[in-house]
Amino acid sequence: MVDAARHPNIEILAYSEVTKVDGYIGNFRVEVMKKPRYVIEDRCNGCGECARVCPIEVPNSFEMDIAPRKAIDVPHDQAVPLVYAIDIDHCIRCYKCVEACGKLDAIDFSQEPEFVELDVGSIIVATGFETFDPAVIPEYGYGVYPNVITAMELERLSNSSGPTVGRVVRPSDGKTPKSIAMIQCVGSRDSRFMEYCSGFCCMYTIKNALLLHQTYPDMDITILYMDIRTPGKGYEEFYNRARAAGIRFIRGRPSQITEDPETHNLFVEVEDQELGEVIELEVEMVSLSTAAIPQADTERLSSVLALSRSPSGFYMEYHPKLRPVDSPSDGVFLAGAAQGPKDIPASVAQGSAAASRAARVLTSDTWEIEPIVAKVWPELCISAQGKKCGICAQACPYNAIIVEPGQPAQIIQAKCHGCGGCAAECPHDAITQDHFTDAQIVAQIRELLRENPEEKILVFMCHWCSYGGADSAGTSHFEYPSNSRGIRVMCSARMDQEFILEAFRRGAGMVLVSGCHPQDCHYITGQQVAAKRFSRVPRTLERLGINPERFRVEWISAAEGEKYARVITEMSEKLASFDKEELRAETERARPAIEKRLRRWMMTPHMAPFLKDEEEQEVEKEVMA
């Protein structure tokens, strides 16, 4: 940390918050709020005279609130930069610190939050994690029984620079416990709280146990675990060392902890799975190895930076295997536990990787992007006519669209990833997507439904999941009826309601729209935009006089070839159960109403020629002539 602070190319803005990010890869403009320290950074020399005279003591969060700190303090002794800050919520404004500071005159109560703008080429998110609060598990009694503590608290107690100078003591009586039980997976691997394994707790618990064993050789140490997970290099050897040192390991998850109200000793009940018997351990102290959970402001920052989050709440990487440090937003990279619980070696590795990925951006003069991007027809955009709209900007998962009244919507192509959600959402059909234009898709619909459309199932599939699913059905030789016809688009968000109506106008027997599962979407929220739109389709169809059973929505991942085959088979069976004459009649009846709905879309200059049959075009040509 000190090295970083001394580096000429590194500027540290501690005690600050990112409030706004504009721009795109290579050209970000970041707004940072520097919170008021009430101490002038350049003048403070970190002598600590102010803290010595401050009369107010508040809980010290660095010491897990088991020790006090002054209302003017540094976060911890090795803090970088070593500048004091005033906890203004607790300060009583006695101004003793001002006196103590004397000639340095570093204390300034008039400070306000300061906003700084930075121009940067790339961004690395390394916001870390928090630990789970075990007080919500009533059967473990954390917060009720004084001698039940968390592993982090034990960590501070056993640290030589901690509040007890390294002496491990019981909160109830200040004596060193003769026995301790360490409980694993508190809050993690638990469907009630965090489903995932936090990964590093086994190792730090074993470390704590060995440390305690070295300092207090007579202490009776028991680790209660469901599985010991030590997959890293040298980790298993460390585990073996703990076993050899005489640490007791019991496989079983404790059901409850009760306390003797007089001695404050704890009774831990656990079924030893190997024995199949319940063991009641009487111990003097219990340490809970709590889950690692996402930082509280993960959600706020994810909307500032357009990041997606995995179901566990941590930031989602672009691809779990191939791009593990990239975020879905180009130029933004992830490092450390912000992306998922991980231990120090893995965090350092990911940090180095993120730094080199970021350096690639900084050292490039040009940056290649995907050719599939959205484009606006300025003359059709109603925002240009001064009307309020902005639906496209709301649909964009990457904040790539700027809408200002009086101006046509503007797409930042370097930010656009080409999902096509805006093109489908635009109510005035003013946006199209290169390589997947409305006209191209309509032409595909027309050709696929040219012959016997009522016998066909038209399938819209997204490039990343459902198309892969259909592919996998083929390569795995799953059998399914041959009457389905697929149209590939980049994302389910691109599947415009007008495409579905056009398919029915052309007489399609059935229409299937398919995309990624909600958490798998390649375009962060594309699937959600699509799902919302599709939920309205059955009602629309009903109103138009088309049986809504002819329309189906399925989320099919690239691995679910079997599901794709099953869905097509089911739909095919259903289609066979319909009377073909009746289907044709239904289409004929609904055609005028559909055409009425599609009229404006069909009349847009880029669409008109593609919608009509060749025969119709011939007639038109004659008329025009």
Partner 1 sequence: MIRSDELDRSFVQEVMAEPGGEHLITCWSCGTCAATCLVRRFDPSFNPRLILHKAGLGLREEVLSSEEIWQCSACDLCYPRCPKQIHISEVMKAIRNIAIREGYEPPGPFPEVDEQICSGCAVCTRACPYEAIERVTKVVDGEERTVAQVTKTLCMKCGICVAACPSGAMNLESISDRELISRMGAGGWLEKPGYLQGGAEEPRILAFVCQWSIHSDREWEKIRGLESDQLRIVNLSCSGRVDPAMILMALTKGADGVLVVGCKEGECHYQRGTYLGRSKVALLEQMLEQLGIAKSRVRFAESGSLDRFLFPRLVREMVEEIKASVPVVA
Beta carbon of residue 185, minimum distance to partner 1 (angstroms, whole number)? 7
CB closer to partner 1, 134 vs 509: 134
- The contacts of residue 101 (CB under 8 Å, 6+ apart) are 49, 50, 107
Beta carbon of residue 279, minimum distance to partner 1 (angstroms, whole number)? 8
- Piece of the chain touching partner 1 by CB under 8 A; list 62-70, 111-119, 182-190, 485-493: 182-190
Tell me: does residue 282 bind partner 1 (CB under 8 A).
Answer: no
| SS3 state of residue 120 | strand
* Contact pattern from residue 139 through residue 168 relative to partner 1, giving x for each residue in contact according to CB under 8 A and a dash for the rest: x-x---------------------------
Beta carbon of residue 222, minimum distance to partner 1 (angstroms, whole number)? 14
Structure tokens at 455: 């016998």
Give the N- to C-terminal CA distance of the chain in Å, as an integer: 79
The DSSP output letter for 107 is: B
Tell me: does residue 190 bind partner 1 (CB under 8 A).
Answer: yes
- Piece of the chain touching partner 1 by CB under 8 A; list 62-70, 263-271, 334-342, 375-383: 263-271
The DSSP output letter for 429 is: -
- Piece of the chain touching partner 1 by CB under 8 A; list 155-163, 272-280, 324-332, 605-613: 272-280
- Per the DSSP assignment, residues forming a β-bridge with 435 are none
**Residue given tokens 């970021």 in the structure block:** 358
CB closer to partner 1, 147 vs 350: 147
* Of positions 3, 11, 112, 280, contacts partner 1 by CB under 8 A: 280
Q: How many CA atoms lie within 13 A of 179 on its CB side?
A: 14
Beta carbon of residue 561, minimum distance to partner 1 (angstroms, whole number)? 23
d(CA 391, CA 431): 11
- Piece of the chain touching partner 1 by CB under 8 A; list 183-191, 295-303, 344-352, 378-386: 183-191
Tell me how far the alpha carbon of residue 155 is from its chain's centroid. 29
**Residue given tokens 């000793």 in the structure block:** 265
Beta carbon of residue 342, minimum distance to partner 1 (angstroms, whole number)? 22
CB closer to partner 1, 77 vs 195: 195
Beta carbon of residue 57, minimum distance to partner 1 (angstroms, whole number)? 33
d(CA 75, CA 35): 14
Cβ-contact 188, 201 below 8 angstroms? yes
CB under 8 A, 24+ apart: contacts of 93-97: 94/55, 96/50, 96/53, 96/54, 96/55, 97/50, 97/51, 97/53, 97/54, 97/72
- Piece of the chain touching partner 1 by CB under 8 A; list 166-174, 187-195, 332-340, 517-525: 187-195
* Contact pattern from residue 346 through residue 385 relative to partner 1, giving x for each residue in contact according to CB under 8 A and a dash for the rest: ----------------------------------------
d(CA 483, CA 509): 10
* Of positions 9, 110, 160, 191, contacts partner 1 by CB under 8 A: 191
Report which residue type is found at 94: C
* Of positions 6, 192, 233, 321, contacts partner 1 by CB under 8 A: 192
CB closer to partner 1, 164 vs 258: 258
CB closer to partner 1, 184 vs 472: 184
Beta carbon of residue 255, minimum distance to partner 1 (angstroms, whole number)? 4
Estimate the share of the chain in helix, then strand, then coil, as percent rounded to the nearest 5: 35, 20, 45
- Piece of the chain touching partner 1 by CB under 8 A; list 8-16, 204-212, 273-281, 567-575: 273-281
The DSSP output letter for 329 is: S
Beta carbon of residue 131, minimum distance to partner 1 (angstroms, whole number)? 18
d(CA 548, CA 609): 29
* Contact pattern from residue 103 through residue 142 relative to partner 1, giving x for each residue in contact according to CB under 8 A and a dash for the rest: -----------------------------------xx-x-
d(CA 481, CA 454): 15
CB closer to partner 1, 105 vs 277: 277
Cβ-contact 240, 206 below 8 angstroms? no
d(CA 307, CA 220): 47
* Of positions 77, 277, 297, 299, contacts partner 1 by CB under 8 A: 277
Beta carbon of residue 262, minimum distance to partner 1 (angstroms, whole number)? 8
* Of positions 2, 94, 135, 278, contacts partner 1 by CB under 8 A: 278
* Of positions 217, 231, 234, 276, contacts partner 1 by CB under 8 A: 276
d(CA 360, CA 32): 24
Tell me: does residue 272 bind partner 1 (CB under 8 A).
Answer: yes
CB closer to partner 1, 276 vs 605: 276
Beta carbon of residue 189, minimum distance to partner 1 (angstroms, whole number)? 6
CB closer to partner 1, 150 vs 327: 150
- Per the DSSP assignment, residues forming a β-bridge with 515 are 555
Cβ-contact 528, 518 below 8 angstroms? yes
Please give the backbone phi and psi of residue 187, each rounded to the nearest 5 degrees, phi first. 95, -25
Tell me: does residue 273 bind partner 1 (CB under 8 A).
Answer: yes
* Contact pattern from residue 222 through residue 261 relative to partner 1, giving x for each residue in contact according to CB under 8 A and a dash for the rest: ----x-------------------------xxxxx-xxxx
- Piece of the chain touching partner 1 by CB under 8 A; list 126-134, 270-278, 493-501, 559-567: 270-278
- How many of the chain's residues bind partner 1 (CB under 8 A)? 28
CA distances from 272 to 96, 241, 309, 387 (A): 58, 22, 37, 70
| SS3 state of residue 577 | helix
- Per the DSSP assignment, residues forming a β-bridge with 484 are 457
Beta carbon of residue 136, minimum distance to partner 1 (angstroms, whole number)? 12
| Antiparallel, parallel or unpaired: β 285-290 and 179-186 | parallel
Cβ-contact 60, 74 below 8 angstroms? no
CB closer to partner 1, 25 vs 183: 183
Query: E strand or H helix at 298, and its extent?
Result: helix 298-305
Q: Which residues of this chain interact with partner 1, rule CB under 8 A?
A: 138-139, 141, 185, 189-192, 226, 252-256, 258-261, 267, 269-273, 276-278, 280
